[in-house]
Amino acid sequence: MSHVFHQSQPTPEWVAQADPVTGLIAFWVGEQHMYAALSPEHAQALAVEKFGDGEGVVMPVSASRLDRPVVDNAGEFDGTLRQWLALKEEAGWLACGVWVKVDLETDYLREVSAIAAPLVAYWVGEHDVYAAHSPEQALELCEGHSGMPETFDLDDVRELTADELDKPLTEEDGTPCGTTRQMLADKAEPGELVSFE
């Protein structure tokens, strides 16, 4: 299905994200729920129909988010959101973006139909780098790891720059050990990446 607009109207940017077969587009409605719909208004109507509540800003899901891995109800990685959208035969609820707090005692992928936010490398203070889904999670990981929960706050957390990610690292004996970007790519779950003394 193609989206056709009168020549007096500019074609909205979100049309470029439409599935080529169904014409469905992934839209956020609020901060958690995503719908496969034909327009922002359609997505909002679907949200009202499903939950009785269409509150929240309606925005198209970005191309980069569509290509990130997602986890299914069992907590297993299962393709990308773009692939999920392609499997939808009709408009409706697509997924729920769940930003979970890490419980260091249990698996952090507790809930289910969730979009897996990417792991990002964050400095916490001046010596430790953590792989986390958010600055808040990086701070929580540091607090649990160091055993000193009052040491840092969010002002002490920042994402590594591209130069920092690509700077070659060495072991204490001078042996090369790759870059922080490579370590981050190999990391399957949140946790400490690098500690500099």
Q: What is the pLDDT of residue 103?
A: 46
**Segments making up each domain of the chain, as ranges:** 13-96, 120-195
| pTM given for the model | 0.45
Q: What is the pLDDT of residue 113?
A: 36
Q: What is the pLDDT of residue 129?
A: 93
Please state the three-class secondary structure of the chain as a single string. CCCCCCCCCCCCHHHHHCCCCCCCEEEEECCCEEEEECCHHHHHHHHHHHHCCCCCCEEECCHHHHCCEEECCCCCEEEEHHHHHHHCCCCEEEEECCCCCCCCCCCCCCCCCEECCCCEEEEECCCEEEEECCHHHHHHHHHHHHCCCCCCCHHHEEECCHHHHHCEEECCCCCEEEEHHHHHHHCCCCEEEEECC
Mean pLDDT by 10 residues, the chain (197 residues): 46 64 85 84 86 74 79 67 87 72 42 53 90 83 71 87 88 84 84 83
Q: What is the pLDDT of residue 148?
A: 60
